[in-house]
Amino acid sequence: MTSRERVLKSLNHEEPDRVPLDLGASVLTGMHVSSIYKLRQTMKLDPPGAPVKVLDPYQMLGEVEMDLVDALGVDVVQAPAAATLFGYKREGWKPWKLFDGTPVLVPEGFNTEPETNGDVLMYPEGDRRAAPSGRMPAGGFYFDVIVRQPPLDEANLDPDDNTEEFTPISEADLAYFKNEVEGLYRETDKAVFAGFCFSSFGDIALVPASWLKNPKGIRDIEEWYISTVARRDYVYRVFEHQCEVALANLEKLLQALGNKVQVTLITGTDFGAQNSLFISKQSYGDLYKPFHKTINDWLHRNTSWKTFIHSCGSVVELIPDFIEAGFDILNPVQTAAAGMDPKGLKERFGEQIVFWGGGLDTQRTLPFGTPEEVKAEVRDRVEIFGRGGGFIFSAVHNIQAGIPIENLVAMFEAFRECR
């Protein structure tokens, strides 16, 4: 099978010739740039000191180039957005070094000048005249968002202030996506993954709007979560507007891309903590599910795209709702969270939703286990999730910095042997 055929077969709950592999097809299944650098050096894909591009400066995810895709047998490729979460384009590459000395290339909008205390601040659209929207602490590995919410005037809160980022997609962005998707579809045999953040209702990575110079409305993370209970009507009106814009943008994207996209990210909103949900089933059903179902229903009526929900933590109680809302795929399948036992998930839901992730625990096994423990867990997960299709192998969420290189190698070696 080609990679695209392999992925589609598994997405249709049929067992392909081998289990498909994803690394870097989304900002939720990638790898920290320092770990990519170590992996490329170990596999002798680059000469010593050759830099790796930072595609996502917010999480400091590195580019998974086609030589690495081919070397590992990756089956899915990403059609990235033109701009980063800080609002500047992925262009004008310049050299920089991480605090651990890893050589990288960053876009020209990336601020490479540290503060006197060693922190690195990031600015919306790369404009240092604006207030900074992100901070990498000295010695850190990625950016923390800086909340820039003005004092709230409770009597004059306006939902329109929280919708300024939801606008019609520009002709330039449509042309960009069309060029990216058509190139990947034509020049590779891989499945094409495209993510559009305008349908990610209440995604806390997006609420602070790190790409806007002067965000208005409720932008503080704690205040936003409080608002989903205390200001439910306000949040619902934000979602209504967001949904209208999302549907209009999807119509334009469909005209531009056709069915050259196989998978699309609908939402990255987290609903689970380590040991339980942090939202009630009723709140999910009242506030989020109607909009998820509207988006999924439109896509299933009009496209062949498979829809992808990312929600970390213990979300087992919400999986039936995700299925009813029309999601085809669940990620990251955080198997170390309460109730997220792989066998139980596969037995209960394996015929109804695709598990994209869950291939290796990134909280404990990958960073702290032995290579033998890594290999054993990979084999176990492929055996459980891979049976009958409905599984795309990926680690549980992004692979972070500081992973022992022998464990990274062990993960891919074990997968190649048992996939």
Chain centre distance of CA 106:
19
Return the structure tokens found at 85.
């979460």
From residue 68, give the alpha-carbon distance in Å to each of 81, 110, 235, 314, 396.
21, 25, 42, 32, 20
Whether the Cβ atoms of residue 224 and residue 207 lie closer than 8 Å to each other? yes
The sign one gets for the Cα dihedral 51, 67, 333, 338 is negative
CA distance 36 to 104: 10
Task: Identify any residues that bridge with 291 across adjacent strands, giving them in sequence order.
Answer: none
Q: What is the pLDDT of residue 150?
A: 85
Nearest to 76 by CA among 302, 255, 265, 342: 265
Q: What is the pLDDT of residue 197?
A: 83
Determine the length of the chain. 419
List of residues 6+ apart from 238 with CB closer than 8 A: 159, 162, 163
Whether the Cβ atoms of residue 258 and residue 319 lie closer than 8 Å to each other? no
CA distance 300 to 308: 12
Nearest to 188 by CA among 129, 262, 242: 262
Cis amide prior to 332 (ω within 30 degrees): yes
Tell me the CATH number for domain 3-31+64-83+149-418: 3.20.20.210
Q: What is the pLDDT of residue 362?
A: 97
From residue 101, give the alpha-carbon distance in Å to each of 41, 110, 161, 312.
14, 17, 41, 31
Whether the Cβ atoms of residue 198 and residue 245 lie closer than 8 Å to each other? yes
Whether the Cβ atoms of residue 291 and residue 201 lie closer than 8 Å to each other? yes
Amino acid identity for residue 89 in this structure: K
Integer-rounded Cα radius of gyration of the chain:
21
CA distance 137 to 358: 30
Q: Where are the alpha helices (DSSP H) in 286-338?
A: 289-302, 319-324
Q: What angle do CA 35, 37, 43 make, to 5 degrees?
A: 100
From residue 350, give the alpha-carbon distance in Å to each of 51, 234, 353, 354, 385.
41, 36, 6, 7, 8
Burial class (CB in 10 A: 0-12, 13-18, 19+), 103: middle
Amino acid identity for residue 147 in this structure: V
Whether the Cβ atoms of residue 342 and residue 302 lie closer than 8 Å to each other? no
From residue 11, give the alpha-carbon distance in Å to each of 82, 153, 167, 302, 389.
27, 47, 31, 18, 7
Burial class (CB in 10 A: 0-12, 13-18, 19+), 315: buried
What is the pLDDT tens value at each position of the chain, 419 positions in all?
A: 999 999 999 999 999 999 999 999 999 999 999 999 999 999 999 999 999 999 999 999 999 999 999 999 999 999 989 999 999 999 999 999 999 999 999 999 999 999 999 999 999 999 999 999 999 999 999 999 999 998 899 999 999 999 999 999 999 999 999 999 999 999 999 999 998 888 999 999 999 999 999 999 999 999 999 999 999 999 999 999 999 999 999 999 999 999 999 999 999 999 999 999 999 999 999 999 999 999 999 999 999 999 999 999 999 999 999 999 999 999 999 999 999 999 999 999 999 999 999 999 999 999 999 999 999 999 999 999 999 999 999 999 999 999 999 999 999 999 999 99
Strands 134-136 and 144-145: antiparallel
List of residues 6+ apart from 376 with CB closer than 8 A: none
Q: What is the pLDDT of residue 196?
A: 86
With H, G, I as helix, E, B as strand and everything else as coil, classify residue 267: strand
Nearest to 354 by CA among 306, 397, 398: 306
Residue spans per domain, the chain:
3-31+64-83+149-418
Task: Identify any residues that bridge with 391 across adjacent strands, giving them in sequence order.
Answer: 355
Q: How many helices (H) and strands (E) does the chain have?
A: 13, 14
Other C-beta atoms closer than 10 Å to the C-beta of 53 total 17
Nearest to 374 by CA among 364, 384, 365, 385: 365
Query: Tokens 């990255």 — which residue?
Result: 268
With H, G, I as helix, E, B as strand and everything else as coil, classify residue 160: helix
